[in-house]
Structure formats: C-alpha cells, structure tokens
Amino acid sequence: MADYTENELAKDLENKEYEYGFTTNIESEKIPNGLNEDIIRLISSKKNEPDWLLEFRLKSFKMWEQMEEPDWAHVKYQKPDFQGISYYAAPKKQKYESWDDVDPEMKETMSKLGISLEEQKRLTGVAVDFVMDSVSVATSFKEKLSELGIIFCSFSEAVQEHPDLVKKYLGTVVPQSDNFYAALNSAVFSDGSFCYIPKGVKCPMELSTYFRINEAGTGQFERTLLIADENAYVSYLEGCTAPQRDENQLHAAVVELISLDGAEIKYSTVQNWFPGDKEGKGGVFNFVTKRGICHKRAKISWTQVETGSAVTWKYPSCILKGDDSVGEFYSVAVTNNHQMADTGTKMIHLGKNTKSTIISKGISAGKSQNSYRGLVKIDRKADNARNFTQCDSLLMTDRCGAHTFPYIECENPTAQLEHEATTSKIGEDQIFYCLQRGIDEEKAIGLIVNGYCKDVLNKLPMEFAVEAQKLLTISLEGSVG
Amino acid sequence: MLKIQNLHAEIDGKEILKGLNLEVKAGEVHAIMGPNGAGKSTLASVLAGKEDYEITKGSVEFEGKDLLDMETDERAKEGLFLAFQYPVEIPGVSNINFLRTAINEKREYLGQEPISAKDFMAMVRERSKLVELDSKLANRSVNVGFSGGEKKRNEIFQMAMLEPKLSVLDETDSGLDIDALRIVAKGVNALKKEDTASIVITHYQRLLDYIVPDFVHVLYDGKIVKSGPKELALELEEKGYDWIKEEVVNH
C-alpha cells in the first residue's frame, strides 16, 4: 500500500477531474421512457422471465404507486421525473459464448476502468461480473467456481438457471414494501448479480461486480442477491462508475445478503458514481437499499468507500437474527463541491449474544453536506447484545457541513452500548508539518486523509484498498480552505 | 549559507521581528538565546515559511537564493529543516511512509530517482540508532503516542534521514530530561558536517553544554542585540537577561 504514495499518485493527480467520464460507443437497445405496467411487462418479457417474477414486479409496482418519496434524509435535490427515465438499456449484441466474443469496445471500456478482465484473470484471480447499464456482460472464472458448487452469475441468468433459489430468497431481506426505492427497484430491476456459496465452502477468490451507467437518460436498477449457506465464506467486491453527464442519473439498487448458520459474508464497495461538476450540475442520485440477515453464529461485514454521486442515500444494514451473530459496518464517505451524502447503517439485534461494530469516517469538503445516520436497535429478547460505534467527521473547509444522527433503541437491560464521536477540522499544523518536510499540500492532504481513514481502508481487500486510497486523494484535490 | 538582513515580520498586525540581521556560514553552529517573547520561535517559523506571519521588510538569502520567494515545501526540498518545538501527530500515517514520501519528494525535486526500499530500510536502521530510537517507533503513526522525549528524538531522526543543509532546532531541549538531552545532542553532533550548518534556538544554556556553538546571539525585542563566542551563553546563564535589557535601553 505504501508504494502508491509516490509516482503513481503523481500521475493520478494530473488527471484529477472525474476520470471515468467517457462514454462507450456501443449500439444499445433502449426501451421508451416512462413507467407503467406495460413497460414492466416488456422488461419481463425481454428477459424471458417466469410468471412468478412478473407477478413480483407488478405487485411491487402497485405498492410503489401508493408510496411517497421519502424526504427525511438530510439532502436536497430535484426529485427525479420517473416518467422521463428509460428503465431498460442493453448493449445490442448479447450472449457471449466466450470472452473472445465480447465487443472490443466494451473491453476497451473495461480496461479504461482499470478492470481488464484478462488482466484480472491472469494476475489477481478475481472473478468479475460486469454490469453495464442494465445487462450483465461477462462472468469470468465460472468454471472454476462451479467445480466447488459456487454459483456466480448475472441475476437474469440465475432466474433462468436457478429459479428455485431466486424464488426462495428474493425479497426476504428487503421486502418490496420496504421503502419507495426498494419498491421501484423490485418493479423494474433489469439485472444484477447472483451468488450462492454452498454449505461449508470457502470461496477461494474475491468475487467482484462492476456497475456502470453508460446510456444517457437511463436509470440503473440492479439487484444483487448473495447467499452464503451454512458455514460458507465469501468476500464480495462491488465497484461503480458512470460517465460525466449534465443531467442527473438515477441509481436505485437493492442488495440482499443471506448469511446462514455459521456463514460469513464480507461485502466491500468502492462507489465512484459521477458526483456532478464543480457547480453541482449533473451527477448520479444513488438511492440504494442494502441489507443482510445473519442466522446463528453468522457474520456480515459491510465495508464501503463512497466518493461519488451527487446525492447518496444509503444504509447497509444487518439484521442479527441468530444467536451469537456478528454485524460490522466500516465506512468512509467523502463529499466535495456540492455533493450530499446521508449514509450510515442499521444494526438490528434480535438474537442473544449478538455483536455489532460501526466505524464511520466522514470527510466533507467544498460546500458539501455529509451526514451519518445510524440505528442500533436491541430487541427485548437480545440478551447480552453489544455494540460499539465510532463516528468521526473531518472538515476540510469552513463552508461544508458534517452531521451525525445516531439513534439507539434499547429494550434489553443487559445490553452494552458504546458510542464515540469526534469532529475535527483538518489540522493546519499537520499540513505545515508535512510541507516543512518537503511534502506538497496535495500529497500532505492525501497522507493525512488516508491516515484518518486507515481503520476502514484496512478492511478492504488489497487491490481495492489501493484504488480507494487514490480515489480519496483525487476527490479531495484542491479542497482545503 | 544563510543571510538575514533587516528582517521585519508581524502577526495579526503586531510586529515581532524588528530588523533582525544574521549570517550563518557552512560548517557553523549558531545558538540563539533570549527571554520569552523575544521572537525566537517566530524566527524559526518565518524561516520555515509559516503563512501566519507577514514579512513587511528585509530579505533572507539561502544558498544564494531568495528564501522568502519560495513555498514552504520548496524551502524544505532546498535543504532547510525545522525541528519543531511541538511536533504534531498524524494518526494513521506511519513514520516510515511519511519519511519515504518526504525523501522521494526531495529526490524528485533534485532530479534523482526514488530511493529503493532496501536502501531506505538500511538508512532507517542506521540512523534510528543515532538517536537511540526504537525501530518499532518507525512503524508507528507519526508522533502518535510518543513520549515528549521520543517526539524530539524523532525530529532528529527525521533530520538525519532528510540530510538538510541548514537545520533550525526550535527549543529542542524543552521538556527533555538530561538523558534525552544528551541523546538528542549526540545525534545533532554526529550529523555536523563541513557543508552543513545549524541554528539552535534555546532558552537555557544547558543544551549548549552538549551542542557547542561557534557563536551565541541574544535575541531581544525582535532584534539580535548581542553576539559573542560560546562563553556568552555561560554569562547569560549566570546573570540572566536583565543586564542585556539594560544595555539595550541605555544605548
């Protein structure tokens, strides 16, 4: 990790503007804008879905129609026009028999993202599922994984090949009626990733999905369903980018994790959706519902590095249903310019001897607003539950804001809860100290900020951690004031 | 190496340095002493380039270049080092990573290749011994959880690693017990070379028992009012600063 501080970073800083802002010239098939039952039927038929799934979508749509967009989050934005969005866009040529068949331009896109599959195949042994706009493009390493009985494929494929598993678990952690965006996603989701790790299997490699919105005027509504059967283990990575566009793009995903008895899921996200330009124009609205359920002795660990999106609204949560289960949430959220983020977690302790840890590091720069919102709930029956929460905010300027909204609901007297919170302004003394040692201001900020986030970055898999460190530095370029 | 002429500096509209002159040549050690509030630490900060101070008059030449025209980090890369009176903590950044970044920044500035990991580690081992700094501290976050003495030794360790031309030690002796003082002084002396120079700012004479200066200057009310050989320090220790003040008033 130490290596990046030098030349690599210097190179990165040269193109510190949002560097993923290019579009790919692939012919796409996009359905008409708007949302109604016919559109949902069209999406479902394009994907050749079974009737039960169409019913699931239609029911969700009916619920959604009755719901109102939530406005309790500490963010302000122009509400999306849901009839002005196309809910499905797919690159025209589909069904790749092998990696060689994949459109060269799409491969180019992937290598610009720094995730050339070939490279990854050879060097890192990471299996990648790449979701561009709405359709999953290629899943590598499938054979090797299938030898162990691991299923890792696009959501659409899972619907066709493993309908029983999908039907059994879909919507069990995030019900359709959960919230406005979860209902919307349940109605129109186009693709996503599916993963199943069989009993007792430790997945030997990191599984990874990259999401990218490419087509103008589209929304992305992916669905991730990840099941770790008893005593299984998996580490899953998720990366996100979008091209620079003047209009706001909507991203409303749902991620459901199921960690059965004794299983462990580690879910890491580096989110770098386009945050809008310096004046606050454009950028992705990231309204995501992520939740996992832990059965007995199971563990779910969420790690996220959030540097992108114009507006973020996201609370990866754990339901600690089984006794002795463990939930963890490690988060770094950076906001710059006009970005707004309202992010945190919910730890719902239902089982006995359940433990949760929350470490949240917020960094605000420019005129941005950064909020931590978290709930720790200890149920009446959750004897000996424990939670530790640490919530730090770092301010880079005097025009930005950092807010903390911790909620604690405790119904059991045996619970032990700890909450620590700090707010600090980046130290001019620290910067001066670095400058006096010959380290220029940008690098100094990079060092100090990465140091501040170290507890969280350490939780990321190696190659992701390096990427995250660079992202942090790039997003905060020129931000002290 | 360093030529300060008629330097005036103020902070928040209050003038602290009021026409300071000082010349330091390669190979020399200069001690600057003076009562509290005379402007000793201001001088160190102004030389290093702290933005809070405004230079209203005068010039500072460093190795033939206009020091006041350079950015803070540029001054450092040109070979100016300040050992801080109160070294700051940088949580989460290891000493090693910090130093390697600093060294490579300087090397890049001088058009040199980055230092190899092997050479760097060898250098760390060798130079941490100089100030008897536990090599474990090298892996810890910069100054976090260090004792007062360890922080000061870490400053000298950094100085040893960065190999500056001119070192300014700002009250490095404050808060040190006698053993720590000896270790710090040993480090400074070991680094003394023909082509380097040091300015040792101190309130007390005792540091000068270990770091023997070539010249002693008395800073009072923003100016150097008296200069002399090392014996001047002893005289100050014995008589205090009041006689200097009287001398200034009488002139």
Between chains, do A453 and B106 touch, taking CB under 8 Å as contact?
Answer: no
- Among A54, A53, A39, A41, CA closest to A87: A39
Give A62's pLDDT tier (boundaries 50, 70, 90): very high
Mean pLDDT of A296-321: 91
Task: Identify the pLDDT of residue A140.
Answer: 53
**Residue A215 pLDDT more than 70?**
no
Lowest-confidence pick of A94-98, A247-251, A396-400, A454-458: A94-98
Mean pLDDT of A408-434: 90
Task: Identify the pLDDT of residue A16.
Answer: 43
Lowest-confidence pick of A86-90, A320-324, A393-397, A450-454: A86-90
Assigned domain for A64 exists? yes
Overall domain count for chain A: 1
Give A27's pLDDT tier (boundaries 50, 70, 90): low
Nearest to A438 among B91, B106, B114 (CB): B106
**Residue A280 pLDDT more than 90?**
no
User: Which chain B residues have a beta carbon less than 8 Å from that of A439?
Assistant: 73, 98, 101-102, 105
Provide, rounded to the nearest whole percent, the portion of chain A with pLDDT above 90.
37
Between chains, do A436 and B82 touch, taking CB under 8 Å as contact?
Answer: yes
* Token digits of residue A21: 């802002």
**Residue A428 pLDDT more than 60?**
yes
Assigned domain for A79 exists? yes
Q: To the nearest whole angstrom, how far is the Cα of A185 from the nearest Cα of chain B? A: 39
Assigned domain for A81 exists? yes
Q: Which residue has the tokens 């950064």?
A: A370
Assigned domain for A481 exists? no
User: Which chain A residues have a beta carbon less than 8 Å from that of B96?
Assistant: 2
d(CA A332, CA A301): 14
Task: Identify the pLDDT of residue B130.
Answer: 86
**Residue A49 pLDDT more than 50?**
yes
Mean pLDDT of A465-473: 78
Residues B12-40: pLDDT tens digits? 999 999 999 999 999 999 999 988 889 99
Highest mean pLDDT among A33-47, A108-122, A226-240, A272-286: A226-240
Q: Which H or E run includes A303?
A: strand A299-306
Q: What is the ipTM of this complex?
A: 0.95
**Among B74, B81, B88, which would you mutate to test the A interface (most chain A Cβ atoms within 10 Å of its Cβ)?**
B88
d(CA B37, CA A273): 53
Q: To the nearest whole angstrom, how far is the Cα of B116 from the nearest Cα of chain A? A: 11
Between chains, do A437 and B71 touch, taking CB under 8 Å as contact?
Answer: no
Between chains, do A438 and B88 touch, taking CB under 8 Å as contact?
Answer: no
CB within 8 A of B126, min separation 6: which ones?
A: none
**Residue A250 pLDDT more than 50?**
yes
Nearest to A433 among B49, B77, B88 (CB): B88
SS3 A469: helix
**Residue A139 pLDDT more than 60?**
no
Task: Identify the pLDDT of residue A153.
Answer: 84
A414 vs A395, residue with greater confidence: A414
Highest mean pLDDT among A11-20, A106-115, B61-70: B61-70
Domain extent, residue A291, equals 6-475
User: Which chain B residues have a beta carbon less than 8 Å from that of A452?
Assistant: 91-92
Lowest-confidence pick of A63-77, A106-120, B219-233: A106-120
Chain B window 16-45: which residues touch A at a Cβ cutoff of 8 Å?
Answer: none
- Among B67, B70, B50, CA closest to B59: B67
Mean pLDDT, chain B, whole residue set: 91
Lowest-confidence pick of A29-38, A145-154, A341-350: A29-38
A23 vs A469, residue with greater confidence: A469
User: Which chain A residues have a beta carbon less than 8 Å from that of B162?
Assistant: 437-438
Mean pLDDT of A463-474: 76
Burial label for B125, CB within 10 Å (0-12, 13-18, 19+), is exposed
Q: To the nearest whole angstrom, how far is the Cα of B88 from the nearest Cα of chain A? A: 6
Nearest to A451 among B76, B93, B105 (CB): B93
Q: To the nearest whole angstrom, how far is the Cα of B77 from the nearest Cα of chain A? A: 5
Give A122's pLDDT tier (boundaries 50, 70, 90): very low
Is B90 part of the contact surface with chain A (CB cutoff 8 Å)? yes
Q: How far is the CA of A377 from the CAs of A155, A313, A381, A392, in angstroms?
A: 32, 20, 11, 21
Task: Identify the pLDDT of residue A12.
Answer: 43
CB within 8 A of A277, min separation 6: which ones?
A: A244, A283, A337
**Residue B236 pLDDT more than 60?**
yes
Task: Identify the pLDDT of residue A481.
Answer: 54
SS3 B13: coil
Give A243's pLDDT tier (boundaries 50, 70, 90): low
Assigned domain for A95 exists? yes
Assigned domain for A480 exists? no
* Token digits of residue A74: 């500490």
Assigned domain for A1 exists? no
CB within 8 A of A104, min separation 6: which ones?
A: none
Mean pLDDT of A421-444: 89
Mean pLDDT, chain A, whole residue set: 80
Task: Identify the pLDDT of residue A204.
Answer: 85
Give A248's pLDDT tier (boundaries 50, 70, 90): low
Give A422's pLDDT tier (boundaries 50, 70, 90): confident
A92 vs A452, residue with greater confidence: A452
- Among A288, A400, A283, CA closest to A344: A288
**Residue B194 pLDDT more than 60?**
yes
Could you say which DSSP state residue A426 is in? P
Q: Which H or E run includes A109?
A: helix A104-112
Assigned domain for A214 exists? yes
Q: To the nearest whole angstrom, how far is the Cα of A422 from the nearest Cα of chain B? A: 14
Lowest-confidence pick of A178-187, A188-197, A462-471: A462-471
Task: Identify the pLDDT of residue A439.
Answer: 95
**Residue A1 pLDDT more than 60?**
no
Q: To the nearest whole angstrom, how far is the Cα of A39 from the nearest Cα of chain B? A: 51
Task: Identify the pLDDT of residue A374.
Answer: 92
Predicted TM-score of the model (pTM): 0.78
Give B224's pLDDT tier (boundaries 50, 70, 90): very high
**For residues A157 and A194, is the Cβ–Cβ distance under 8 A?**
yes
Nearest to B92 among A429, A440, A451 (CB): A451
Nearest to A437 among B49, B76, B94 (CB): B76
Is A6 part of the contact surface with chain B (CB cutoff 8 Å)? yes
B176 vs B40, residue with greater confidence: B40
Task: Identify the pLDDT of residue A114.
Answer: 54
Task: Identify the pLDDT of residue A84.
Answer: 78
Nearest to A437 among B97, B102, B114 (CB): B102
SS3 A274: coil
- The DSSP-derived string for A253-271 is -EEEEEE-TT-EEEEEEEE
A375 vs A209, residue with greater confidence: A375
**Residue A104 pLDDT more than 70?**
no
* B195-226: b (≥16 Cβ within 10 Å) or e: ebbbbbbbbebebbbbbebebbbbbbbbbbbb
**Residue A119 pLDDT more than 70?**
no
Nearest to B104 among A6, A432, A448 (CB): A6
Mean pLDDT of A331-342: 87
Is A441 part of the contact surface with chain B (CB cutoff 8 Å)? yes
Q: To the nearest whole angstrom, how far is the Cα of B185 from the nearest Cα of chain A? A: 21
Q: Nearest-5° angle of CA A213, CA A217, CA A221?
A: 50
Is B101 part of the contact surface with chain A (CB cutoff 8 Å)? yes
**Residue B131 pLDDT more than 50?**
yes
* Token digits of residue A69: 């967009």
